[in-house]
């Protein structure tokens, strides 16, 4: 479910925020992070981590 997703999303979100300079770099840092963390790509987009950075461009 979404319980474990919250924990992973927390760690991933922290990494993404540090890597993202405030632009559409999400796509560039998401794939490696997802693979390294073992989190599903859809999970990241679902949580709104990437979506939140896209409109902030």
pLDDT higher than threshold 50 for residue 40: yes
Distance in angstroms between the alpha carbons of the first and the last residue of the chain: 31
pTM: 0.14
The predicted pLDDT at position 42 comes to 57
C-alpha 25: how far from chain center: 11
pLDDT band of residue 37 (cuts 50, 70, 90) is low
Catalytic residues: 50
> For the chain, which residues make up each domain, given as ranges?
3-53
**If you average pLDDT over residues 29-47, what whole number do you get?**
53
């Amino acid at each position: 479910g979404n319980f474990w997703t919250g924990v992973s999303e927390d760690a991933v979100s922290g990494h993404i925020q540090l890597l993202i300079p405030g632009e559409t770099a999400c796509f560039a840092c998401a794939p490696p992070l997802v693979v390294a963390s073992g989190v599903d790509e859809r999970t990241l987009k679902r949580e709104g981590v990437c979506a939140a950075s896209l409109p902030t461009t």
